Amino acid sequence: MSRFWKPGTERPQGRVVDDEEGGVIFLSGSHHSSSSSGYGHASIDKQRQRLPVFKYRTAILYLVETRATTIIVGETGSGKTTQIPQYLKEAGWAAGGRLIACTQPRRLAVQAVASRVAEEMGVKLGDEVGYTIRFEDVTKPNVTVLKFLTDGVLLREMMDDPLLTKYSVIMVDEAHERSISTDILLGLLKKIQRRRPELRLIISSATIEAKSMSDFFQMRFSSALAIRKRREPENEGHGLQVEPAILSVEGRGFNVQINYAEEAVQDYVQAAVSTVLLIHEREPAGDVLVFLTGQDDIEAAAQLLADEVHTNGKHSSGLIVLPLYSGLPRAEQELVFSPAPRGKRKVVISTNIAETSLTLEGIVYVVDSGFSKQRFYNPLSDIENLVVAPISRASARQRAGRAGRVRPGKCYRLYTEEYFLNHMSNEAIPEIQRSNMVSCVIQLKALGIDNILGFDWPASPSAEAMIRALEVLYSLGVLDDDAKLTSPTGFQVAELPLDPMVSKMIIASSQLGCSEEIITIAAVLSVQSIWISGRGIQKESDEAKLRFAAAEGDHITFLNVYKGFHQSGKSSQWCHKNYINYHAMRKVLEVREQLKRTAKRIGLVLKSCESDMQVVRKAVAAGYFANACHLEAYSHNGKYKTLRGSQEVYIHPSSVLFRVNPKWVIYNSLVSTDRQYMRNVITIDPSWLMEAAPHFYQLQQSNPLLR
């Protein structure tokens, strides 16, 4: 591999094992060469006791007993997520009908971890151990005591139970990820603790970046302590220490040798595939973990590897290629965790979910593209995008660390060392500072937090983003002149577990008499994609799509697909024949039912408009007016401008309106590659915009296009 690969020379402070040998970095704790980890036939109890966190069991329980907040830092795979909740239960924290919660930023991690813990405890998932993610509640009242959930779901629970009274301990896991919901949750938990001193918090994290977390809670505690001294001196007798404790779990990672690309890589999918094949050809046994960015490039790489196995069997036989991304069917998720059969090499191609949220046993080689999908928001143009962007050095180190779990490993970085050292940022920016704040503002408002700018954030969002959000919510009719939730619209929007624009669309549909249709559309928009696509079947899938295509655009096309699916008796063969993702359609049915229930509960009228598609488009406009665009006059290449901000955008090739280019459209989301592409596009009449949001478009009133 020497032609392409160059060993790295980085000397990370304090973590160098061998100064003489370039590129060997030691990723965690003490290095001992025990062969105890990995697959074994040991009983579950033995396996549990071998995890690094086990040695700290007593210490952790002692800290939780005596401190309001405990911060636990430990290398990925040390057992934080799967073990600590069990320790708490064993120590009696779930007695008396109380629950122990463990939050994760990612849904897939919630499911995977809950099912692992249920297995370890020998119980049925959904009984003592359960999980809740949006649109899926696998818990039983009065039975479930360990509950895994996304941080977003816990935030929603606060709307019904602001002090989260049913929980005795809340473990906020993966805090280093700094997801927007984690940050909001931490800010709120800080407030809750002031009212519920008996509540225990555990904040767990894979990196020392948790230091900033501790500072955040430290500050809170010094002020809380002062308050308590003044108001309730008797509390001090309880022996509860308010200073947060930090406990660091020494891991047992092995050395990982870092190799860099000699020169910049043009196509990281192709480069990743070639690297996997090289590893397979030249390196001894051991599984491979490849970090790409999302379903599309993961499926593309998996396909390329499969083709290789097919055409060039003798070099690549013995490879088992498995994709891993959110939205993957359960059965396929499970394959990722099961060990490869003897003599076979597993290649898992993953998003950054495998960076710290999930531990895969048996990984010895990591291939790091250097990219991940990240959210970026520009308050000036009011555009939020999921962009494929370079990861931080901290992430790159985490990814490399995944190779050192069972024995010394190797990491192949598909970028140069110069790039790593000089162009990657040290740490990622917390998501809250690069997100649209609309959902966040509405949640805080619904929880009665009025002074949002003065809220105690772990990292403050920008004032511009905040102002933009207030403006959009005002235009949606969710906030009134005093920036309070309107009744009923504001409260209804807050109740629906959706982006406020989708919620508003649903509320408008109730008034317009097309809620059945709009709820179907909202359900389709909540799954990643209902189409099956991929290299090699593009033509067939495009043709299949044409069978459903509606002149009005993608949303109406979804209704046609849903109708066809329903008429087929929800048949999987029908889906297969039409290049429609059966799994996604099942999910659509499920989400649809849930949304209908919530809609009824908040007093919306469920009604179908039969074939009147104009009202459906009006309802879409009522929610998504802010995403209106018009085709540039004389544009032959399909260039649109957003009405607000005049950003240049194009219709995405996956849209049924691609190349049709109607004059006025509204999009659902943007994806940015070489250009900004609009996904899920529908035609509108511009006069509806003024109707839907006079305030928002008042500046454009003089715009002759809008009259």
- Which residue, 72 or 261, is less far from Mg ion as judged by CB? 72
Binds ligand CDP (CB under 6 A): choice among 100, 112, 261, 383: 112
Quick note: the x/- pattern for Mg ion over 74-103, rule CB under 5 A, is -------x----------------------
Pick one of ligand CDP, Mg ion, none as the site partner of residue 74 (Cβ within 5 to 8 A by kind): ligand CDP
- Which residue, 205 or 627, is less far from Mg ion as judged by CB? 205
Stretch that binds ligand CDP, among 74-82, 438-446, 578-586, 613-621 (CB under 6 A): 74-82
DSSP-derived 3-state class of residue 463:
helix
Report d(CA 225, CA 457) in Å as an integer.
Answer: 19
Q: How many residues bind Mg ion (CB under 5 A)?
A: 1
- Which residue, 174 or 554, is less far from Mg ion as judged by CB? 174
Residue 28 as a binder of ligand CDP (CB under 6 A): the answer is no
- Which residue, 358 or 665, is less far from Mg ion as judged by CB? 358
What one-letter code names the amino acid at 28? Answer: S
Pick one of ligand CDP, Mg ion, none as the site partner of residue 361 (Cβ within 5 to 8 A by kind): ligand CDP
Residue 362 as a binder of ligand CDP (CB under 6 A): the answer is no
Report d(CA 577, CA 80) in Å as an integer.
Answer: 45
Query: Which residue in 464, 444, 443 sits closest to 456, CA to CA?
Result: 444
Tell me the sheet residues that pair with 7: 259
- Closest approach, Cβ 149 to Mg ion, in A, equals 14
Stretch that binds ligand CDP, among 10-18, 81-89, 91-99, 697-705 (CB under 6 A): 81-89
Residue 207 as a binder of ligand CDP (CB under 6 A): the answer is no
Residue 104 as a binder of ligand CDP (CB under 6 A): the answer is no
Question: Cβ neighbours of residue 438 under 8 Å, at least 6 residues apart?
Answer: 469, 472, 473, 499, 500, 501
Residues 150-179 that bind ligand CDP (CB under 6 A): none
DSSP-derived 3-state class of residue 669:
strand
- Which residue, 204 or 654, is less far from Mg ion as judged by CB? 204
Neighbouring CB atoms inside 10 A of 611's CB total: 6
- Closest approach, Cβ 203 to ligand CDP, in A, equals 13
Report d(CA 214, CA 80) in Å as an integer.
Answer: 18
Pick one of Mg ion, ligand CDP, none as the site partner of residue 397 (Cβ within 5 to 8 A by kind): none
Question: Cβ neighbours of residue 471 under 8 Å, at least 6 residues apart?
Answer: 696
Q: How many residues bind ligand CDP (CB under 6 A)?
A: 16
The answer to whether 101 touches 151, Cβ cutoff 8 Å, is no
Report d(CA 427, CA 355) in Å as an integer.
Answer: 14
Residue 406 as a binder of ligand CDP (CB under 6 A): the answer is no
- Which residue, 48 or 618, is less far from Mg ion as judged by CB? 48
Pick one of Mg ion, ligand CDP, none as the site partner of residue 82 (Cβ within 5 to 8 A by kind): ligand CDP
Peptide bond into 488 cis (omega under 30): yes
Integer angstrom CA distances of residue 473 from 156, 468, 516, 534, 688: 19, 9, 25, 38, 18
- Closest approach, Cβ 293 to ligand CDP, in A, equals 22
The answer to whether 385 touches 374, Cβ cutoff 8 Å, is no
- Closest approach, Cβ 404 to ligand CDP, in A, equals 13
Binds ligand CDP (CB under 6 A): choice among 64, 68, 71, 79: 79
Pick one of Mg ion, ligand CDP, none as the site partner of residue 594 (Cβ within 5 to 8 A by kind): none
- Closest approach, Cβ 626 to ligand CDP, in A, equals 39
Residue 74 as a binder of ligand CDP (CB under 6 A): the answer is yes
Report d(CA 432, CA 419) in Å as an integer.
Answer: 26
In whole angstroms, what separates CA 637 from the centre of its chain?
A: 34
DSSP notation for 39-61: S----HHHHHHHSGGGGGHHHHH
Stretch that binds ligand CDP, among 17-25, 110-118, 370-378, 643-651 (CB under 6 A): 110-118
Quick note: the x/- pattern for ligand CDP over 325-354, rule CB under 6 A, is ------------x-----------------
The C-alpha angle with vertex 484 and arms to 481 and 488, in degrees rounded to 5, equals 100
- Closest approach, Cβ 582 to ligand CDP, in A, equals 25
The answer to whether 493 touches 506, Cβ cutoff 8 Å, is no
- Which residue, 174 or 299, is less far from Mg ion as judged by CB? 174
- Closest approach, Cβ 211 to ligand CDP, in A, equals 18
Residues 531-590 that bind ligand CDP (CB under 6 A): none
The answer to whether 80 touches 74, Cβ cutoff 8 Å, is yes
Sequence-ordered alpha helix ranges (H) in 167-312: 180-195, 210-231, 268-282, 295-311
- Which residue, 233 or 341, is less far from ligand CDP as judged by CB? 341
- Closest approach, Cβ 356 to Mg ion, in A, equals 7
Binds ligand CDP (CB under 6 A): choice among 6, 67, 80, 190: 80
- The beta strand positions in 40-117, using DSSP E, are 69-74, 99-104
Report d(CA 438, CA 446) in Å as an integer.
Answer: 12
- Closest approach, Cβ 31 to Mg ion, in A, equals 21
- Closest approach, Cβ 432 to Mg ion, in A, equals 21
- Which residue, 88 or 584, is less far from Mg ion as judged by CB? 88
Integer angstrom CA distances of residue 103 from 82, 150, 153, 521, 616: 12, 5, 9, 29, 37
Residue 81 as a binder of ligand CDP (CB under 6 A): the answer is yes
Quick note: the x/- pattern for ligand CDP over 412-451, rule CB under 6 A, is ----------------------------------------
The single residue listed with the structure tokens 């990219």 is: 371
- Which residue, 253 or 490, is less far from ligand CDP as judged by CB? 253
- Which residue, 109 or 620, is less far from Mg ion as judged by CB? 109
Q: Alpha-carbon torsion 40, 45, 48, 49, what sign?
A: negative
Stretch that binds ligand CDP, among 109-117, 552-560, 640-648, 687-695 (CB under 6 A): 109-117
Pick one of Mg ion, ligand CDP, none as the site partner of residue 359 (Cβ within 5 to 8 A by kind): ligand CDP
The answer to whether 493 touches 599, Cβ cutoff 8 Å, is no
Residues 40-59 that bind ligand CDP (CB under 6 A): 51
Q: Give the strand order in the sheet containing 200-205.
A: 136-138, 129-133, 146-150, 99-104, 167-172, 200-205, 69-74, 245-249
Report d(CA 174, CA 110) in Å as an integer.
Answer: 11
Residue 76 as a binder of ligand CDP (CB under 6 A): the answer is yes
Pick one of ligand CDP, Mg ion, none as the site partner of residue 434 (Cβ within 5 to 8 A by kind): none
Stretch that binds ligand CDP, among 111-119, 179-187, 216-224, 600-608 (CB under 6 A): 111-119
Binds ligand CDP (CB under 6 A): choice among 94, 113, 164, 584: 113
Give the DSSP H or E segment for 24.
Answer: strand 24-25
- Which residue, 53 or 245, is less far from Mg ion as judged by CB? 53
Per-state percent for the chain, helix, strand, coil, to nearest 5: 45, 20, 35
Question: Cβ neighbours of residue 140 under 8 Å, at least 6 residues apart?
Answer: 126, 127, 130
Residues 44-63 that bind Mg ion (CB under 5 A): none
Report d(CA 149, CA 126) in Å as an integer.
Answer: 12
- Closest approach, Cβ 73 to ligand CDP, in A, equals 10
Residue number with the smallest Cβ distance to Mg ion: 81
Q: Which positions lie near Mg ion, rule CB under 5 A?
A: 81
Q: Which positions lie near ligand CDP, rule CB under 6 A?
A: 51, 74, 76-83, 112-113, 116, 337, 359, 361
